[in-house]
Amino acid sequence: MPLLFLLVACWGAIATYTALVRVRRLPQLGFAVLMLAWPTGEWPLFHIAWQVLATAAFGLLGAFEEPIGGIGLAITVVSWIGLLQVHRIGNRARPSMQEAFAETLGADYLDRLDPVRREALRHRPDGGWSRLPVYFDRNGIAIDHDRSYGEHPKRQLLDIYRPAERVTGAPVILQIHGGAWVIGHKQQQGQPLMHRLAGQGYVAVAMNYRLAPKARFPDPVIDVKAAIAWIRENIAEYGGDPDTVFVTGGSAGGHLAALAALTPNLAAFQPGFTEVDTTVVGCIPFYGPADFCDRHGIRGRFAAMEPFLRRMVMPVPLHEDPALWDLVSPITHVGPDAPPFLVIQGENDVLVYREETRRFVDELRAVSRQPVIYWEVPGAQHAFDTFNSPRAAVAVDAVETFVGHVMATRVRTP
Nearest C-alpha neighbor of 251 from the set 392, 155, 345? 345
Nearest C-alpha neighbor of 104 from the set 395, 356, 346, 361? 361
Query: Do 184 and 220 contact (CB within 8 A), yes or no?
Result: no
From the list 251, 329, 368, 389, the catalytic residue is 251
Strand order in the sheet with 203-207: 141-148, 157-163, 203-207, 170-176, 240-250, 282-286, 341-346, 372-377
From the list 47, 382, 385, 405, the catalytic residue is 382
| Separation CA 90–CA 167 (nearest Å) | 36
CB-based contacts of 252, cutoff 8 Å, min separation 6: 176, 177, 178, 179, 180, 181, 184, 220, 288, 289
Residue 372 bridge partners (DSSP): 341
- The kind and range of the H/E element at 364 are helix 354-367
Query: Do 242 and 229 contact (CB within 8 A), yes or no?
Result: no
What is the CA angle 373-376-381, rounded to 5?
140
The SS3 call for residue 1 is coil
Phi, then psi, of 298 in degrees rounded to 5: -70, -40
349 as an active site residue: the answer is: yes
From the list 223, 241, 349, 385, the catalytic residue is 349
CB-based contacts of 95, cutoff 8 Å, min separation 6: none
How many CA atoms lie within 13 Å of 348's alpha carbon, on the beta-carbon side?
A: 25
Nearest C-alpha neighbor of 223 from the set 238, 239, 235, 212? 212
How many CA atoms lie within 13 Å of 320's alpha carbon, on the beta-carbon side?
A: 6
251 as an active site residue: the answer is: yes
Active site members? 251, 349, 382
